[in-house]
Amino acid sequence: MEEEFEPTIIAFVCNWCTYTAADLAGTSRLVYPPNVRLIRVMCTGMVDPKYIIKAFLEGADAVLVSGCHPGDCHYINGNLKARRRMRLLKEVLSVFGIEPERLRLTWIGASDGIEFADTIKEMVAQVKRIGPNACKHQTVV
Amino acid sequence: MAEKSGSALVIGAGISGLRSAIDLAETGYHVFLVDKAPHIGGILEQLDHQFPTNRCGMCKLLPAVEPDQASQQCLRRGLFHGNIEILASAEVMDISGEAGNFCATLHQHPTLVDPNRCMGCGQCAEACPVEVKDTFNAGLSTRKAIYQPAPQALPGTHVIDLSACTHCGECVSVCPTGAIRMAAADRKKFKILVADEASSVREQLQTLMAGEGFLVDTAESGEAALEKLKSEAFHLVLLDIKMPDMEGVDVLKEALAVQPSLQVVMTTACAAVQSAVESIKAGAADYLVKPFSEDFLLPQIYRFYEESGKGRQRELSVGAVIIATGCRYFNPAEGKDIFGYGLYPDVVTHLAFERLISGTGPFGGRLVRPSDRRPVNKIAWIQCVGSRDLQTDSDFCSSICCMSAVKEAMLAREIGGGQVETVIFHMDLRVFEKPFQQYLDDAKRSGVRFQRCRVHSVACSEDGARLAIRYVDMDGAREALFDLVVLSVGQRPAEDAEKFSEMLGLELNPWGYLAPRPFSLTETSAPGVFLGGAVSGLTDINDAVIRAGAAACGASKAIHKSGGSLETVESADDGRDRDINREEPNILVILCVCGDRLKALIDMDVLLDRIQTEPAVSQCLEVDGLCSPDGWAKMLEELKDKPVNRILLATCAANAYAHRRLEIADAAGLPEAAVQIKDVFPSDWFAGGAPAKEQTPYNTGYVERCLKLAIAGLKGIHWGPAEKIPVYQSALIIGGGIAGMTAALAIAGHGFRVDLVEKAEQLGGNLNWLGRTIDGADVAERLQTTVSRVNDNSLIHVHLNSTVADIRGSVGRFQSTIGEGKNAQTGHHGAVLLATGGVEGATESYGYGKSPAVMTQKAFETARSEGRIDPAALSSVAMIQCVDCREPPRNYCSRVCCLSSLKHAMYLKEQNPDLSVYILYRDMMTPGFYETYYTQARRKGIIFFPYTPEAKPEVVVPGQNGDGASRLRIRANDPIIGQSVEIEADLLILATGITPVLPGDLMSKLRAEVDEHGFFKEADFKWRPVESLAAGVFACGLALSPRLIDESMASAEAAAMRAVRMINRQYLTAGRKIAVVRHSLCSGCQLCISACPYGAREIDPEFGRIEVNPLKCQGCGACAAICPNSATVLAEGSETEMFEMIDAAMGPV
Amino acid sequence: MLSATGSPTVYPEEKAEDLLGPLQEKLCACIQCGTCTASCRNAHLMDFTPRRLWRLVLMGQTEEIFHSKTFALCSACYYCTLRCPRGLPLTDAMNLLKQLGAKKDVAGYRPNARFYGSFLDSVRRHGRINEVEFMRRYFILMKNPAIPIKFTPLGIRLLRKKKISMLPNKRKPEYPLDQFFQRVEKLENQQ
Amino acid sequence: MTDWYKIDRQGGDRLTDIRQFLKSVLGLESVSAMLVPRQLPTKDAVMPSLVSRPVLLDDADPLAPAFAVNSAKNISQLTRKGLDANIAAVLRPCEIRAHIELVKLHQSASEPVLIIGMDCLGAFSNRCYQAFLEENEGPASEAFCRARLSGAEPSNTVEISPACRMCEQPIPEGADIILGLYGISLDEGLFLQARTERGKEVLDNIGARGAKAPEQREQVVQSLIKERTEKRDQVFEETAAAVNTIEKLSEYLSGCVNCYNCRVACPACYCRECVFTTDVFDHDPLQYLKWSERKGALKMPTDTIFYHITRLVHMGTACVGCGQCANACPNDIPLTQLFRMVAHRTQAAFDYQAGRSADEPPPLTIFKEEEFDEIVGLGS
């Protein structure tokens, strides 16, 4: 019998908001799937498109970029820059069959531990529905 | 002999206290930050959303220059600053001494939980049988007697609420680390004397307390009690206030004479509460009201028991004191309770609403009704509950509630996807700060409904399911149904206001708030003691932060004046500055195995094998029981002389160790940044849950991946010597009005040179034409003393008739040209303050310019002071507010005009009571205690007509339209009587507001931004209100926004404080987590320059290269992300490191 | 901009008589918040809301005030006084308006004033109410034959149920009230 | 008033007229030199040349169907570090667009350059141009021009490059002066359009006289654009179908040997050194082994797809569709089709068009408080 597909999600979370929320989810013992691997960045505005492309080519089934709500960014507007970049990446990656659902941008504030956990749950469910990223087992680098 | 002291005491760790503490700490003082609550943050810990951004951003309080001084994390998680000592759960009992040399007595309330042992696992709270209302959630939920005080604070140490704890000991038995101390054996040593005439009471108390293990004796008379006290020592006396033979208070006094450290608790019947309060003044510890129930009494006894033995007294010697204890809120259940608060669960206060929509709130941020958890479709906000209401003794406005209601309504609409109907019942809408009018317009656009009406009462709808509100609109009385009613409750003075007033001889205003001196928002009558934030009246964040800065400035000056040092003592510990950049990453991995538990889940040998193949890992160390003091000490011991330069500690509950990172670093002789603590256990590990394998793929691979991700991160830690930039230790202030002069005096008061540049031929700016303030303070006199203090100060160099022709450079190193032509001088300054002020707005509306009878407020003020106005000769004067203001293009409130009009109107009415005065207004902006002047003006018979921008008054000037009338005629509509009215006036005074005169060219040279109205654009309106995003550039006074004289002066002091912080040392140290340019790769496309929000990058004119100003750079990485070929790299978080982390995160197959 | 109510009121008014002076003094701190109207149980019957009435008082609109029925409809429940954020004595102000209305013999308030007057007159003479006499006096004062006709069906019903009697009450009052009334009049005149 | 000018036929052919015109421009005091496609002495290549002596313009050949490099790069070389002189440049529309993009990126300056844009007739790839030369026994620019304008095939053996066949922007709108070809009879003199004040001044100074706009031109151009747009969309569709999975993209790019010629030839790729050739991608030897272990096999050289996708992300919004990437590819990967197809989508996403206007900031350098909210969240 085939094992159930367990997606791998790489999440770039900003130090100030979403990382705090993720931590809060942890300390509040909110259960969320362990499929997500957090990479803390100072600001979503520093997430280079290369990181996201790399994650997909390495086989990540989904990538989440999550930071402060507009107006909340510790660095004033890094999140707004990130939003444009994500718009661009979604456009490019979808050409190559990387579904837009695999690349997500969310704003999750520091006290939104529950929202963080819910987001991860929902994302895992969505990715399970669309199946694994084709790069996972292919020799594309 | 007075001892030199370089430290300050800040009482209250809310927004204001934090700002003051950080300001002082950044400047180099040691700060004791005390709060009664077990957490910092004050009310901010409860507010996820604050206007006008509707989000938080509190982290922007952290130092932007020299960021490595403080923790770089959300402030809700905690604040770690080398110069700030946070004393939570502590209370200031006494302050003695004088400015420069205070001695403060502190009482540390016991929490019974050892923060070094508590892992925050929460098992104690699960076990605790006592459930009380959770004040953190504004009573919307319950918590246990042992609890985590703030959900996000680190470490998640629990505390015991001694007023609720029954000492049942359940928590002690479940605590896995033995962190809770509740020693039963000690109770036998705690001696209690019960003195009461009634034998029934004596017996009841004796049985009860002896049953808990205390040693109890009794006395039936005052005499007998005193006999016993003379013969043996007691810890606690429960003394009836009416003893048969003598007054309880007399017994108390004698008892304290015999045993001074004795805790005496008065017991009293309800009727005698007043005398019980008297006895507190005589030295009683507390009083309890009879009859006692067991449930109530025991926690109280335990509280005294814990306080007496373990509550620590501590004495602090400090140079200055800042009181920032905030304020309380009106309890709508008090008195008549016309809104049914406490009766209907769906009537909540605005603080409760904040918790209701908070992610950490009782419903996880879902907008539901507290009564039945059903979704909310329609919400009403009722404004001015306990404000602007003489019936609740509140002839004041609470200043923030209009904006907070607007915010909450917008959020409700946002959360409800625009489906939630929101109505705000208000009186005036007080949008008196710069961005608020636009914010209000946004709210209206987003569909928030505003109903100008005070609500009479809230009742239950007939079917009992909803809440009915009766109100009035222009068509008469109406009734509407709502799911939720939010009461915007007003302010009340801080609990401690009276205590501090007595302790320090501070004045209270008529409503019981600590009152600052005239022309100041922070100075008190006691030198060296300052008021911060809302303690002298509720403020929004912007104002609180400015006041906090001004208070810090006052405190700093006081300490400095008494000889306190501004210099910090350099840390002698070399490990903390060790340059690990020069060394190849050499990581020690420490893995806590937790007895046999970890081995039972994973294959340890395989794991260690795989970790050790990492080239950067030099050693793996297995340790056990880090959560026990023994285990921790053993681990630290192991670290000695380990030849490593980075440490990865893999444990459970990593957050519980976060505050102990420095211990590890010190033990290993490393900078703190080189130590990382990582959770590798499932999150429910400590709660005793064994991970369910079918649910979590918790296995060797999981742990390996966690560790490798952490290792990849650690490899990227760069901690080298930080760059030091020399500083010109002087300041340039542009503008010699009251703000400029105040700032100059504040900076010079710290011993630094100031160049004060004024374009006019005299100092003083707008104060030269202002007579008196509305509260009667003499402006001219104040101006004169200030000018002479400025002129007499040898450190202040005044340049009259001058402007700054050119300016270059950045924080710490500005070069300017002051004046022009041959008088030009070159200035070198470390900081620049713009105090360029503002002028009265120009207008062509309402017949201005067409008749001498139409004048502006300034013209009236000038004419009045020159004696050209004869009130006796006038019979009718009209005033129009908001002329060309509060609508595009000048869509802001000018703040001062309503008060000016009230001032002028009351003056005229006083001089000639028969004179009719009419004020045509949109919303009277009399926030805070200025409201009382509005009341007074109404009482004097001044007639107010509200108008709306859609139906503005019309003015007919004599002679206009062939009109033969000799007086001005003003036509307006009175919405209340629904009629048009015509006012014949001898004089029409127009409130045209304030426009800024900020020099745009200098601003762009300074790389500082100007807002759409020409005011200085703050780095952040809420959190960094007196500075630009370009470090080292500050503004104060009208250059920032319209403000009153005392507010201008407060902003000047706040800006001065920030400026002093830039120039008080010879060098500024750059942060280490900044971006650098690899010039060999850089193509000079300048995308990074435009991406940098801080103006930290520019083209070096000499080499044509991109240069990064390390003091300005905050390391956000916007530059690195936009750079296509990694010519810009972050010192921490480079692409190579990120790629490694992504690789590690993908983990083994 | 001009409202439908016709020509605008011109300020400042000629201060012909200081009728409203004492009332204005009581009410000048009013901020037109509308609490009084929202609290008033009779507001739906009034032609002007209490809020509007107070505004008219402050603006010296004697004519309009006494043309309105608002103050006549006040049942003195004191709700408004209890809630007014300015702590204004609104019920007292209503009473004052009623007194003024009676004193000035204001046309709009006339029926009420006469009704109350007849009532009190009857009480003064008998120490209790004599319904038939009370109504007769009222009808005479009103000088309007339509009024008795309007009241006739009610009178008949009450007579049938023996709630009232056509016979005059000959009994002397047990406690003569005339002195009491005289004292009140004296006090009122002193004011 | 019309902004059209006319210079009458001076005898000879179109090319001679053009050369004459260029000479008069170079003769102006305000023009120090002219960058123009010029036949090399060997006559087997036409390369951009910076001509300062007017007589050497006798070899200028802007009508030649050769397009070896995108001259925007040459202008960058000339102006990036500041040029204290004014030059003129004869450019194709795609070169002008690239130039505008480079100006935004501070890689070029617009002030020192007078741009003379030619209506573009398209060009051959380098290899095909050689075939064309052989077929015609020498440069047959005039003949090429006639053929293209009449709709006939200019060669029996080779086609003009794919980029040019799908180019829907053949008019050099960003020029100071447009040298019109479409809709203008070859037997008349030169029709020139002044697009800027500066262009007008030059045309006045060289004594060109005002003229009515060529009557046929608008119609000819519109129908050409329509035809090309249809062609383009067809190519987009085919290309999209060819790369709609990562696997297919791998196939599409399977010929790539990581030579990075495409990025060297690309006018928008302005990096001094591509990040893929820096130490960031100079991986640790062990790293290759680890990757290989993870997937069983690792294609060498690595990071090929990574490179191409990154380049699409980096430069897609600046792609002007000149086709030099494909022209430079040694293994004939149809890169232009891929780039244009993706660039078209990304530029549309930001309502941006590379090279349209110097006043439009590149999409990633700006942002608004409220935009693209539809991409935030999980879409549920």
Number of domains in chain D: 2
Q: Does domain B1075-1130 have CATH number 3.40.50.10860?
A: no
Q: Is the peptide bond before C12 cis (omega within 30 degrees of 0)?
A: yes
Nearest CB partner across the interface for D273, out of B1085, B1086, B1125: B1125
**Residue B2: per-residue pLDDT:** 31
Residue D254 sits in the same domain as residue D343: yes
Residue B713 to residue B609: CA distance in whole angstroms:
20
Q: Do the chains contact at C9 and B981, CB–CB below 8 Å?
A: yes
Q: Do the chains contact at A53 and D296, CB–CB below 8 Å?
A: no
List pLDDT tens digits, range B619-666.
999 998 888 888 999 999 999 888 899 999 998 888 888 888 889 998
Q: Give the CB-side neighbour count of residue B576, counting CA atoms within 13 A.
A: 11
Residue D57 to residue B159: CA distance in whole angstroms:
89
DSSP B252: H
Give the nearest chain A residue to D252 (CA atoms): A96
Strand runs labelled E in B269-319: 286-289, 312-318
Q: Which D residues, 198 through 237, put their C-beta within 8 Å of a C-beta on chain A?
A: none
Q: Which tokens hold the place of B173?
A: 């038995």
Q: How far is CA B351 from the centre of its chain?
A: 15
Nearest CB partner across the interface for A74, out of B53, B60, B1130: B60
Give the nearest chain A residue to D296 (CA atoms): A139
Q: Would you identify the CATH topology of the domain B575-715?
A: Rossmann fold (3.40.50)
Q: Does domain B329-491 have CATH number 3.50.50.60?
A: yes
Residue D56 sits in the same domain as residue D94: yes
Task: Output the pTM of the full model.
Answer: 0.92
Nearest CB partner across the interface for A27, out of B120, B1091, B1138: B120
Nearest CB partner across the interface for B1126, out of D275, D287, D362: D275
Return the H-helix or E-strand segment holding B598: helix B597-601
Residue D203 sits in the same domain as residue D238: no
Residue C78 to residue B130: CA distance in whole angstroms:
45
Residue D211 sits in the same domain as residue D238: no
Domain boundaries, chain B: 7-109+319-327+493-561, 123-174, 185-296, 329-491, 575-715, 725-837+999-1061, 840-994, 1075-1130
Nearest CB partner across the interface for C44, out of B456, B477, B935: B477
Q: Do the chains contact at D314 and A49, CB–CB below 8 Å?
A: yes
Residue D21 sits in the same domain as residue D134: yes
Q: Do the chains contact at D369 and A70, CB–CB below 8 Å?
A: yes
Q: Do the chains contact at B454 and C85, CB–CB below 8 Å?
A: yes
Taking CB atoms and an 8 Å cutoff, what residues of chain C touch B951? 1
Phi, psi for residue D269 in degrees, rounded to 5: -75, 95
Q: Which residues of chain B have pLDDT under 50?
A: 1-4, 568-569, 571-572, 692-695, 1149
Residue B22 to residue B38: CA distance in whole angstroms:
19
**Residue B524: per-residue pLDDT:** 96
- Domains delineated in chain C: 21-104 (1.10.1060.10), 110-171 (no CATH)
**Contacts of residue C186, Cβ cutoff 8 Å, sequence gap at least 6:** none
Residue D187 to residue D174: CA distance in whole angstroms:
27
Q: Do the chains contact at A59 and B54, CB–CB below 8 Å?
A: no
Chains C and D touch (3+ CB pairs under 8 A): no
Residue D267 sits in the same domain as residue D200: no
List pLDDT tens digits, range B584-632.
889 999 999 888 888 888 888 999 998 988 889 999 999 988 888 889 9
**Residue D129: per-residue pLDDT:** 94
Residue B147 β-bridge partners: B159
Give the nearest chain D residue to A54 (CA atoms): D306
Taking CB atoms and an 8 Å cutoff, what residues of chain B touch C57? none
User: Final residue of a domain: which of D171, D199, D227?
Assistant: D227
Q: Do the chains contact at C38 and B455, CB–CB below 8 Å?
A: yes
- pLDDT cut 70: percent of chain A above it: 94
Q: Strand B994-996 and strand B838-840: pairing?
A: antiparallel
Phi, psi for residue B422 in degrees, rounded to 5: -130, 130
Radius of gyration over every alpha carbon of chain B, rounded to an integer in angstroms: 33
**Contacts of residue B271, Cβ cutoff 8 Å, sequence gap at least 6:** none
Q: How far is CA D224 from the centre of its chain?
A: 18
Angle at B469 between CA B464 and CA B475, to 5 degrees: 135
**Residue B507: per-residue pLDDT:** 95
pLDDT at C6 over 60: no
Sign of the Cα torsion B142, B145, B150, B151 reads negative
By the 10 Å C-beta count (0-12 exposed, 13-18 middle, 19+ buried), D13 is classed as: middle
Nearest CB partner across the interface for D270, out of B615, B1085, B1122: B1085
Nearest CB partner across the interface for D107, out of B1083, B1104, B1122: B1083
- Residue of B1142, B1143, B1149 for testing the chain A interface, max A β-carbons within 10 Å: B1142
Residue D216 sits in the same domain as residue D249: no
Taking CB atoms and an 8 Å cutoff, what residues of chain A touch B1130? 42, 46
Phi, psi for residue B988 in degrees, rounded to 5: -125, 120
**Residue C191: per-residue pLDDT:** 63
Q: Is residue D243 domain-resident?
A: yes
Q: Do the chains contact at C59 and B974, CB–CB below 8 Å?
A: yes
Q: Do the chains contact at C32 and B976, CB–CB below 8 Å?
A: yes
**Residue A63: per-residue pLDDT:** 98
The mean pLDDT value for A31-41 works out to 89
B879 to chain C, closest Cα gap in Å: 14
Taking CB atoms and an 8 Å cutoff, what residues of chain D touch A85? 364
Give the number of beta-carbon pairs within 8 Å between B and C: 124
Residue D80 sits in the same domain as residue D164: yes
Q: Which residues of chain D have pLDDT under 70?
A: 1-2, 380
CB B1118 within 8 A of CB A46: yes
- Domains delineated in chain A: 9-137 (3.40.50)
Q: Which tokens hold the place of B371?
A: 């009564």
**Residue B926: per-residue pLDDT:** 96
Same fold yes or no, B329-491 and B575-715: no
CATH of domain B840-994: 3.50.50.60
Residue D313 sits in the same domain as residue D365: yes
A26 to chain B, closest Cα gap in Å: 6
Q: Would you identify the CATH topology of the domain B7-109+319-327+493-561?
A: FAD/NAD(P)-binding domain (3.50.50)
- Tell which CATH classification among 2.30.38.10, 3.30.420.480, 3.30.470.20, 3.50.50.60 matches the domain B725-837+999-1061: 3.50.50.60
Alpha helix stretches (DSSP H) within chain D: 14-26, 72-79, 93-104, 126-136, 141-150, 162-165, 197-205, 217-242, 246-252, 261-265, 285-295, 304-315, 324-328, 335-349
Phi, psi for residue B995 in degrees, rounded to 5: -120, 145
CATH of domain B185-296: 3.40.50.2300
Range of the structural domain that residue D196 is part of:
4-227
Residue D143 sits in the same domain as residue D200: yes
- SS3 of residue D47 by DSSP: strand
Q: Which tokens hold the place of B651?
A: 């444990």
At C152, the amino acid letter reads T
Q: What is the interface pTM, i.e. ipTM, of the complex?
A: 0.91
Return the H-helix or E-strand segment holding B96: strand B90-98
Q: Which tokens hold the place of B482?
A: 């709502």
List pLDDT tens digits, range B706-759.
899 999 989 888 888 889 999 999 999 999 999 999 999 999 999 999 999 999
Instruction: Give the burial string for B721-737 (b: 16+ CB within 10 Å, else e).
Output: ebeebebbbbbbbbbbb
- Measure the CA dihedral B750/B753/B757/B762, to 10°: 70
Q: Is residue D380 domain-resident?
A: no
**Residue B4: per-residue pLDDT:** 41
CB D60 within 8 A of CB D19: yes
Give the nearest chain C residue to B951 (CA atoms): C1
Taking CB atoms and an 8 Å cutoff, what residues of chain B touch A47? 1121
Taking CB atoms and an 8 Å cutoff, what residues of chain B touch C58? 943
Q: Strand D4-7 and strand D190-194: pairing?
A: antiparallel
Q: Which B residues, 515 through 554, put their C-beta within 8 Å of a C-beta on chain D?
A: none
**Residue B597: per-residue pLDDT:** 81
User: Final residue of a domain: which of D210, D227, D244?
Assistant: D227
